[in-house]
Structure 1
Amino acid sequence: MSFEKGQSGEKSTPDPSTTSSFDGGVKKVSGIDADSETCAPPLHLAVNDVPDAKGMLLFGCQQMLLCISGMLVLPFLVSDIACAGDKTIELRVQLISSTFVASGVATLMQTTFGLRLSILHGPSFAFIPALSVYKSLPENTCPYSRTDQAPEDFWMSRIRAMEGSLLISSSCLFLLGASGLVGKISRMVGPLCIAPLMVLLEIGTVPTLIEKMSLHWVSLVEFFVVILLAVILEPYAVPIPYFSIRKRKIQFTRARIFGMFPYLMSLLMVWFLCWILTVTNFEPPEGEARTDKNQTVEVISNAPWFHIPYPGQFGRPGIDASLLCGFLASAFACLLENLGDYEMVAKVSQQRHPPGAAVNRGIMIEGLGSILAGAMGIGAGVTTYAENIALMHITRVASRATMQVAGILCIIIGLFTKVAAVLASVPDAIVGGLLGIGMAMIMGVSISNLRTVNMQLSRNVAVLGLSLLSGLAIPDYFEKHPPKTGNATVDQVLITMLSIRMLIGGLIAFILDNTVPGVTKFQRGFPPAGEKHAMVPLEEDGYAFPPFINRIFNRFPFLSYFPFLPSQADLKKTIAEEIVAKKSLENQPV
């Protein structure tokens, strides 16, 4: 639905009965209220729909552009923790390139073999608290500045420690999905577990946010420009001129570009501001907002045009016990976060509740994607990006093909190292602003998980309050009074585990929500007991595999015993529907 600014300066809403939208060659008219919860507006493109080439490229590019800012944050943080001295920018280029490739591959695997809904993967912010605690340990302080020449073995050992620790924690995520335990865990994890964990995740990231945003005032400019574009100007449609070949004249179309590309537009605008500050010398030499730092220019000029990131590019993985424990907690947080995201994308895509086999496959593929990210040395696992699900809700385009195109575009960007080098030259302060607005959006989504919980019950209020308070108080206490067991390794592990707020609060919320009696599952935010999801036609089922894959599964019945593959009953039902659909197609008059 488009909103235009009338002559009076007020926002005028067109008549819903005559509202039309044009996307990717598919035009549909909608007269349904978009805010209605009982009747969702029809999708322009459903999960199994494939738009024309132009629409597929445009929608895929839009989804890819939306996630660029999120993919920049982790490489910047990891390169700082590595403490590579004058090699920091060069390392950052390599990490950005690897991040785009790993995210693109994970997206393709998830949309093709995993959940099979439109999901885009990127590095997870859930790993930031563990990385922050690892960085804050006395033995991990950085003794080198950006101009110092740090020994390669020094910073490479840190990258390898992140690499090996992430490989082990991601393997646990893969095994949880492959064994089917995720399906059992999901029946015990409700909004009262997810909400405090995600809120505490954001609170635990605040020190990193303050560190980045305090570098320069342009971080505040970036923060408020995103708010201006994504919140205030989002409903306004902007006239865009184009030349019509058929009519041979310039015409105008209206699009809500502020709501479609707020992160990218704000990044370019503030980056341009930094360039102006640089050429006018308003920013002092070596200032945090300058775009002509010698290291940055040298890295861009020396970076190869094409490079293929590969697993093991930083050498043999190492292991750090404290970081491993922190990453295990982060992987658990990712698991809970993804369960909520799967529900969200199913609703936006107008699909039934995700079946157990699809959820197990989804988590298994997320584990594989995180293993790939770890092997490439990225320093953080991958997760589902909720921002892309929100964009699907706005555009009402849930096509799997468009997200697969987005994954391919991510891989292409990662292979062209010059592009990664240019992205690595973004001032750190701008990344701080992007991190701030990203945290704010995730915080809002986290709190919105409680909308299905009956918060008038004192039991639910107590569970929420106790978990949040414990997640805030216990880490602060042990930060001032660290445990002393006499063993340095054990002390590091305990300090790391007891300093991660989301682990403490999430674990307490999980225990209390599943042990304190007095409420029904519905009052805890779960769907009504015995609720059945209506079966959908095969051509509309986003979780179903292609017919030839189903026939392979049916030919080898033992495959159905794997918890991440369809059961024999589901396969027989699916194949029967395929036969009926094929016969009805053959009987249609020519």
Structure 2
Amino acid sequence: MVTDTGNFLHFHVNDIPHLSAILLFGLQQMLVCFSALLVTPYLLSNMLCAGAETIAIRVQLIAATFVTTGIATILQTTFGLRLAILHGPSFAFLPALHTFEEMYPCTQDTDTSLWKEKMQLISGSLFLAVLIMPIMGVTGLVGKISKHIGPITIVPMLVLLCIGTVPDIEEKISLHWISIIEILLLIIFVVLLEDVEVPIPGYSFSKKQFFTTKMRIFSQFPYLLGICLAWFLCWLLTVTNIEPASGPARTDRNESTFVFHSTPWIQVQYPMQFGFPQFSFPLVIAFTASTVAVMIERICAQISQQGSPPSSSINRAFVVEGVGSMLAALMGCGTGVTTYSENIAIMQVTKVTSRITMQCAGLLLILIGVFSKAAAFLAMIPEAIIGGVLAAGMSMICGVAFANLQTVDLRLSRNLTIVGLSIVLGCTIPVHFEKHGFHTGHKTMDDVLGTLLKMRMLVGGLIAFCLDVMARGATRKQRGLEGRMEREDVAVERDRFAFSSWANQTILKIPSITRLPVVPSEKKIRRVEEMRAKRVKENVLEDKF
């Protein structure tokens, strides 16, 4: 048990709980991200215009998403930032998918047999776009750029991301009133019942007696409970025939049940399973813009309340996140990966930030992805319920966006003007070009510039970044940037981002490696090892006395 900047933690990032606790905490983290992992497969499967094959494709996309999420999480926690964070499909790539939807709209005349070609186009374009992430990390540019990007840039971008997904939310919610029930359930669980402790019965084999323990299940599992209750209500509507035979809330729709019964129990997911990737220049530009937005968002993220990462850790995290996004592209997930704030938020409640618990969650996600029957079962969730989940997820992101302003001096008209102006122009400029297009006389140029200027996150983010860097009248502290170097030093002292001792000893044998942007300096490595040796000596003395 440790104390972290005044906050009590049951398990620190380097602590290893008991095996049963690891499995329980890992299962909990997996359940928290469950609902968010379903959103992209549902949206993407509809964009492919596959007709009767939509449900079968959705099953495959769900399985691929779970496997990719598990692998990306294990890679990041082991080789990247080395914190207890979970990586899953990023909603920041939805604007790029909307660009694809505009290029290939679903109509009555659409050839439903071309869905594989469309998937190959998405995979190839996304793969090229996310290459920028490992390149920026390996060269060390991310660590340098991160010193100039702050909350004033990230807040407008996240707000504009939420605004951009409003049409998707409205489309899903309008399918059936069950989505409103889903939203109300989530509001009740997260807001009204957050502090309610429910007694959970158990049995102790060592003491041979029953016992009860109290848990805040409503605040720890709001999405899971919301989906289960809404799904159960859909089942009641189905068995009582209150929902019409072709209603969107029925749980016995022919295509869903057929796919569930015909899906094999085990199906290994692998890269390029939909065919060799193809490329579209306008789509590459759209995905690149989303990638840049994700990178800026990640730079500014306060991860797991574990202090500010050293530059080498930030660079390494982007390399690993880029590898995870490249894998997601080849697996057909349709988006890159990013850190899930829901999983970080649950740590505020559980006070468990152990790295190995998140690695366990990653392993469980891979197993579920390979067990394709589970993916087929999840694909049977009525699509209207996903509308409520998407609305709640975007609400969480919007709330996190405004939380970033707590380090900014909001008494300065400079800061308020930049944030407000970037949000307003980030909405206005894309709307203008959506209505009137971009006309230079050169089709390729029109497609590229039109794509970029229609992306709210990119437009608003660039405006906020440029104004924040160029405009005077505020110190780094007033911009929310001061104190990063001090927090970085504290993070090094507390051994949060460091490699294991055997890895550090190996690096020290080849001093030239420490010159790489993704590797800590020789001085910091030796400092970490000295701190570890000191702690070991202190523990030995405590045991003696």
1:97 and 2:63 correspond: yes
Q: CA separation of 1:530/1:551 partners in 2, compared to 1, >3 Å: closer, same or farther?
A: closer
CA distance in structure 1 between the aligned counterparts of 2:34 and 2:292, rounded to whole angstroms = 25
CA distance in structure 2 between the aligned counterparts of 1:160 and 1:408, rounded to whole angstroms = 27
Shift of 1:475: 0.8
CA distance in structure 1 between the aligned counterparts of 2:497 and 2:427, rounded to whole angstroms = 40
SS in 1 for 2:497: coil
Paired amino acid for 2:94: I
Paired amino acid for 1:256: R
1:209 and 2:169 correspond: yes
Find the partner of 2:227 among 235, 250, 267. Answer: 267
Normalised to the residue count of structure 1, the TM-score between the two structures is 0.88
1:426 and 2:381 correspond: yes
Q: CA separation of 1:505/1:256 partners in 2, compared to 1, >3 Å: closer, same or farther?
A: same
Find the partner of 1:547 among 501, 507, 522. Answer: 501
Paired amino acid for 1:42: F
CA distance in structure 2 between the aligned counterparts of 1:520 and 1:62, rounded to whole angstroms = 42
1:558 and 2:512 correspond: yes
Find the partner of 1:121 among 87, 102, 118. Answer: 87
CA distance in structure 2 between the aligned counterparts of 1:183 and 1:387, rounded to whole angstroms = 25
1:570 and 2:529 correspond: no
- Greater displacement, 482-491 / 458-467: 482-491
Paired amino acid for 2:71: V
Shift of 1:490: 3.0
SS in 1 for 2:196: coil
> How do 1:122-521 and structure 2 match up within 5 A?
122-137=88-103, 140-143=104-107, 150-151=112-113, 154-341=114-301, 343-345=302-304, 347=305, 351-521=306-476
Q: CA separation of 1:54/1:464 partners in 2, compared to 1, >3 Å: closer, same or farther?
A: same
Give yes or no for contact 2:63–2:375 (8 Å, CA) kept in 1: yes
Query: How many residues get paired?
Result: 544
CA distance in structure 2 between the aligned counterparts of 1:472 and 1:160, rounded to whole angstroms = 31
Which digits, 9 at most, give the CA deviation of each residue in 1:82-116, with x for residues without a partner?
11111101110111000000010000000000000
Shift of 1:502: 0.7
Which digits, 9 at most, give the CA deviation of each residue in 1:344-371, with x for residues without a partner?
32x2xxx442111011111111111000
Which digits, 9 at most, give the CA deviation of each residue in 1:300-339, with x for residues without a partner?
0010111111111111101122221111111111112222
Percent identical among aligned pairs is 46
Who is 2:40 aligned against? 74
Who is 1:527 aligned against? 482
CA distance in structure 1 between the aligned counterparts of 2:347 and 2:470, rounded to whole angstroms = 37
Q: CA separation of 1:144/1:156 partners in 2, compared to 1, >3 Å: closer, same or farther?
A: farther
SS in 1 for 2:15: coil
CA distance in structure 2 between the aligned counterparts of 1:585 and 1:253, rounded to whole angstroms = 33
Shift of 1:456: 1.1
Paired amino acid for 1:291: T
CA distance in structure 2 between the aligned counterparts of 1:466 and 1:78, rounded to whole angstroms = 32
Shift of 1:70: 0.6
Cα RMSD (Å):
2.1
Q: CA separation of 1:101/1:144 partners in 2, compared to 1, >3 Å: closer, same or farther?
A: farther
Q: CA separation of 1:277/1:458 partners in 2, compared to 1, >3 Å: closer, same or farther?
A: same
Shift of 1:143: 2.6
Give yes or no for contact 1:352–1:534 (8 Å, CA) kept in 2: no
Which digits, 9 at most, give the CA deviation of each residue in 1:163-196, with x for residues without a partner?
0111011111111111111111111101000000
SS in 2 for 1:454: coil
Ranked by relative contact order (alpha carbons within 8 Å, sequence separation 6 or more), the top structure is 2
Paired amino acid for 2:513: L
SS in 1 for 2:202: strand
Give yes or no for contact 2:47–2:101 (8 Å, CA) kept in 1: yes
Gaps of 5+ in 2: none
Gaps of 5+ in 1: 1-25, 31-37
Paired amino acid for 1:52: H
Q: CA separation of 1:528/1:561 partners in 2, compared to 1, >3 Å: closer, same or farther?
A: closer
Shift of 1:252: 2.1
Shift of 1:136: 2.5
CA distance in structure 2 between the aligned counterparts of 1:100 and 1:156, rounded to whole angstroms = 20
CA distance in structure 1 between the aligned counterparts of 2:93 and 2:484, rounded to whole angstroms = 35
SS in 2 for 1:241: strand
- Greater displacement, 504-513 / 236-245: 236-245
